[in-house]
Amino acid sequence: MELKTMKNQTTFSHLRGLKLAALAIGTSFVLAGCAGNPPTEQYAVTQSAVNSAVSAGGTEFAAVEMKQAQDKLKQAEIAMHDKKYDEARTLAEQAEWDARVAERKAQAMKAEQAVKDSQKGVQELRQESQRTVQ
């Protein structure tokens, strides 16, 4: 009876080992498949973010950030061409965030300029009203 129990445990351990090995191999294939796909979606999102930042005035108000975004986007394109998809994805993500920073910075600078223009307009109105009262 003990021999039968020991034999069952050995068979169970063997099957368990095979299942773990199959799981590890399957996971490796899935991860390798993900790494082997070009990041075309991320590249498109990044391109859109760069275009949006340019439209917002990023080249004028956030030149450094725009240059970084455009350089990284170009590097991502080269990495995709060389089939270095992980590197391309990372560069595209970094370029996207640089572009978003440039866009926000441009928007903030434009808003600051609008506030200054409004303050100047208010000051001119005050001066004009004081001239007409005197």
16 plus 75 within the same structural domain: no
Domain match, 100 and 48 both: yes
Residues 76 and 119 in one domain: yes
The pLDDT tens digits of the residues spanning 32-83 come to: 444 589 999 999 999 999 999 999 999 999 999 999 999 999 999 999 999 9
Dump pLDDT digits (tens) for 69-119: 999 999 999 999 999 999 999 999 999 999 999 999 999 999 999 999 999
- What is the span of the domain harbouring residue 16? 1-35
Looking at per-residue confidence, does 22 or 39 come out higher? 39
In terms of domains, do 3 and 58 share one?
A: no
Q: Are residues 69 and 116 in the same domain?
A: yes
CB 58 within 8 A of CB 65: yes
pLDDT at 14: 54
> Residues near 57 by Cβ (< 8 Å), separated by ≥ 6?
106, 109, 110
Q: How far is CA 49 from CA 46, 62, 64, 77, in A?
A: 5, 14, 16, 15
66 plus 5 within the same structural domain = no
Same domain, 9 and 27: yes
Distance, in Å, from the CA atom of 118 to the CA atom of 108, rounded to the nearest integer, reads 15
Model pTM score: 0.65
pLDDT higher for 55 or 129? 55
Give how far Cα 17 sits from Cα of 10, 12, 22, 66, 123, Å. Answer: 11, 9, 9, 53, 81
| 50 in the same domain as 17 | no
* Residue 109 and residue 48 share a domain: yes
